[in-house]
Amino acid sequence: MVRIHPSILSADFVNLERDLERIRDADGVHVDVMDAHFVPNLTFGLPMVQRIAEVTELPIDVHLMIDDPDTWAPQYAIRGVESVTFHAEATNDGVALARELRARGTRAAIALKPGTAVDAVLEHLTEFDMVLVMTVEPGFGGQSFMADMMPKLVELRSRADEAGVELALQVDGGITADTLPIAAAAGADVFVAGSAVYGHDDVAARIAALRDAGSL
């Protein structure tokens, strides 16, 4: 099953309701929260995510690129938010945070920057609903896909299968109709795409093309 989650980082923030409507055929919407500390870029916070949840029926996938997710992430577990993703590099206790997110009724996901190994996650696979393997340095849209991250996906998928754990594997950064099949072959099943969707007029066709690329 291929899931396409367009990233609104590449949408028009002033016309966000229109741009959410343009992706209604997607499987979810990826919402990047950045704090200008964990990453060198700034977007928006909880009030914006609450408002997005009011105007879209798409499941919301919140990607927190912020310091101290242990304090802030639980607040994002609101109605309409399907999953909250925090970074392994930013949390003091990823297992405790994932448990708290699940207790609040949302899926818990942990993200790995390109320089972060999978080892810490492999020991606790059952604690997470999804692992996000970043395929660019987080912070900006429009960067090139890092194919050298694929071994992380292969390892996560094989260890999850061995253990009989149902685990979604998400990739984020540089996903296009050309790179999506590479990540899918390595085990990914949830694909974030910003510029490949919103960088074009025919947004619905771009989503369809990405989905096709994943089912070849």
Chain positions contacting ligand DX5, by CB under 6 A: 7, 9-10, 30, 32, 63, 136, 138-143, 172-175, 192-196
- Residue 189 annotated to the active site: no
Within 10 A of 171 (CB to CB), how many other CB atoms are there? 30
- Contact present, 135 and 111 (Cβ < 8 Å): no
Known binding-site residues for a divalent metal cation equal: 30, 32, 63, 172
Tell me the two tokens of residue 9. Answer: 């980082």
- Write down the least CB distance from residue 172 to ligand DX5, Å: 5
The catalytically annotated residue of 27, 32, 61, 189 is 32
**16, amino acid identity:** L
According to DSSP, residue 89 is labeled T
Known binding-site residues for substrate equal: 7, 63, 139-142, 172-174, 194-195
Gyration radius from the chain CA atoms: 16
- Residue 32 annotated to the active site: yes
Which is closer to Zn ion, CB of 146 or CB of 165?
146
- Write down the least CB distance from residue 115 to Zn ion, Å: 17
Residue 199 CA to residue 206 CA, distance in Å, equals: 10
**Sign of the dihedral defined by the CA atoms of residues 67, 71, 73, 79, in that order:** negative
189 binds, among Zn ion, ligand DX5, none (CB under 5 to 8 A by kind): none
Q: Which of 172, 183, 189, 197 binds Zn ion (CB under 5 A)?
A: 172
> What SS3 state is found at 37?
coil
Based on the shown chain and the rule CB under 5 A, indicate whether residue 5 belongs to the binding site for Zn ion.
no
Residues acting as catalytic residues? 32, 172
